[in-house]
Structure 1
Amino acid sequence: MINVLFGAKPDMWAEYEAPLNDAFAKSGLQVDLSVDHAPSEVDYIIYSPAGTVSDFTPFTRCKAVMNLWAGVDSIVGNQTLTQPLCRMVDDSLSRGMVEWVVGHTLRHHLGMDRHILGQDGVWRSEFFPPVAPDRPVTILGIGQLGAACGQALHQLGFPVTGWSRSAMDIPNIRCLQGDAGLQKALTGAEIVILLLPHTPRTENILNAERLALLASGACVINPGRGPLIDDNALLAALDSGQIGHATLDVFRAEPLPADHPFWAQPQVTVTPHIAATTRPETSSGIIADNIKRGEAGEPFLHLVDRTVGY
């Protein structure tokens, strides 16, 4: 019997218990899934931020920790974690992110708010957007999610530039890297999408100096991580008109406090961390498959490299 501890947020247990047990049964694994296994008896931990496990020291038998989210910044620096850590890589996560990013990109590209919010009897025919090939888009972070979003935007005709720390070669995306590449990627961009992980090297990567590189009135879309943006610099750029709008799905503190200036800034759209939501049915199958690999002595999939933080 394989003992699996559900150490994610307690309120997630009701939606995950049945899908996980179904996935384990389909994989042929004999699993005892519980929220209260004794630490010394646990073979695998299913984890999420704000879950029930923060000290991994007692879990001496644990073979791996399975993260339910794509991001691991809440756990990767935990000094008690010595077990292998696997992040969630799920096609449904990618699909959800692509749909959210494309939807908000088109919203700003087309200027939809002018008409959706302007139902006041005024015939606003003075504005029409450029076609997509004339609207440069930059994506900071072209891993799996960033590349998927870039391909979808390319299919719509947008010229897409992607930036990463290390060299990448992705069809249909102009790939840049390094500090010089970052400046080039941002200069003149009209829509910037942030899909980087949060690490010490990416915190405040979009600061006042770099916001000034964008085209005047540019749009910033952040479904990545809140600390990627210097909040005060963004608010100042919005006030000056250098940034025309910011659509933000992630924040330094979540839920976003009711007194945060973003709520009062009319050129900010706040969405409640919904761009890419882990879905129990598909993620349960991925966890079951990874545990099956571990039990067979095969390498785990989607292992986190803690030296780089993702």
Structure 2
Amino acid sequence: MTSFAYRGDLQRGCLWARLFAERMPAIDFRVVSELEGDVDATVHYLGTWAPLADYSRFPSLKVIFALGAGVDQFDLSLVPPGVALVRLEEPGIVGMMQDYATLAVMALHRDLPIYLEQQRRGAWSPEAVLPAARRRVGILGLGQMGAAVAARLTALGFSCSGWSRTPKALPDVRCHAGNSALGTFLAESEILVCLLPLTAATRGFLNAALFAALPTGASLVNMGRGGHLRFDDLVAALDRGQLAGAVLDVFEPEPPPPGHPVWSHQRILLTPHVGSVTNPESAIEAVIANIARHRAGEPMRGEIDRLKGY
């Protein structure tokens, strides 16, 4: 018997169990917790958001399905050799990320942080209004999420460019690749949207040097991970006017501690990591489809390249 071990919310686990029974009855589904330490050699597939402290309890493990769009919470050096790590690719996550990017970019494009500050002061001072076609949006990271966000924003009329480590080609997007092209990309990004994966190379990527390379008065949207951002550098750039505003959906740690300046800074809009929320049913469908691919010897969607970390 081949088993799938689910580690997560128990209420959602009941839904997972029902759908597995309906759509993949050949797989024995079970819910596990960190406290259950018995060795189980039947488990070939594990679904979890957070890594296990000890993978030795599953000596026959073949695939770990990360129940989220990112995998930066996993230390790949601790994942057993030969075990594939697969991030979740499902339409619901992508659509919600597009929605959030639209919300954030529109808020900055139409100067919402400025107007919220004015409202608190009782001021009435309209800013100049630009059409979307004259607003240059730069997207850091052109993977599945970045490409989808670019498609949504270009459809709304924004002038979009994108940057990635390796060359990409997207409709109606000026694509830049590699470190040599980063400066050119930043210089034309009035609203910068971060959708990079969090790796050793991208931790602290949003820093003082990067902010200085943006046009004066540019804005930031961080939808990646809190670890991308050096918060003190952001505050300094906002306070001296290099940046006009920021929308942060992610932070490190989450939530920020009480009294942290992010709660009260007038040019920062903070949301509690709601850019995208996994839809249980579509997530289960995506995992089941990938198990079927794996059992058929086919490539799985979302499998992580261990050397790249994403």
Give runs of aligned pairs for residues 75-224 of structure 1, distance below 5 A: 75-82=74-81, 83-113=83-113, 124=124, 126-224=126-224
Q: Deviations over 1:227-253 (max 9, x none)?
A: 212222111101111111111111221
Q: Is the 8 A contact 2:150 2:160 kept in 1?
A: yes
1:48–1:122: structure 2 CA closer, same or farther, 3 Å change rule?
closer
1:121–1:64: structure 2 CA closer, same or farther, 3 Å change rule?
closer
Give runs of aligned pairs for residues 17-56 of structure 1, distance below 5 A: 17-35=14-32, 38-41=38-41, 42-49=43-50, 53-56=52-55
Q: Give the % identical residues.
A: 31
In the TM superposition, what is the alpha-carbon distance from 1:176 to its structure 2 partner?
0.2
Q: Is the 8 A contact 1:6 1:13 kept in 2?
A: no
Q: Is the 8 A contact 2:113 2:266 kept in 1?
A: no
Q: Deviations over 1:82-118 (max 9, x none)?
A: 3111110111100000000001111111123555665
Give runs of aligned pairs for residues 205-284 of structure 1, distance below 5 A: 205-284=205-284
In the TM superposition, what is the alpha-carbon distance from 1:80 to its structure 2 partner?
4.1
TM-score, length basis structure 2 = 0.91
In the TM superposition, what is the alpha-carbon distance from 1:293 to its structure 2 partner?
2.5
Q: Which amino acid aligns with 2:63?
A: A
Structure 1 gap segments, 5+ residues each: none
Distance 1:162 1:101 in 2: 14
Q: Which amino acid aligns with 2:64?
A: V
Distance 2:118 2:261 in 1: 24
Q: Deviations over 1:1-38 (max 9, x none)?
A: 43221123xxx221242145314522453423222574
Distance 2:54 2:135 in 1: 48
In the TM superposition, what is the alpha-carbon distance from 1:286 to its structure 2 partner?
0.9
Q: Is the 8 A contact 1:76 1:309 kept in 2?
A: no
**Aligned-residue CA RMSD (Å):** 2.2
Q: Which amino acid aligns with 1:165?
A: R
Distance 1:47 1:7 in 2: 5
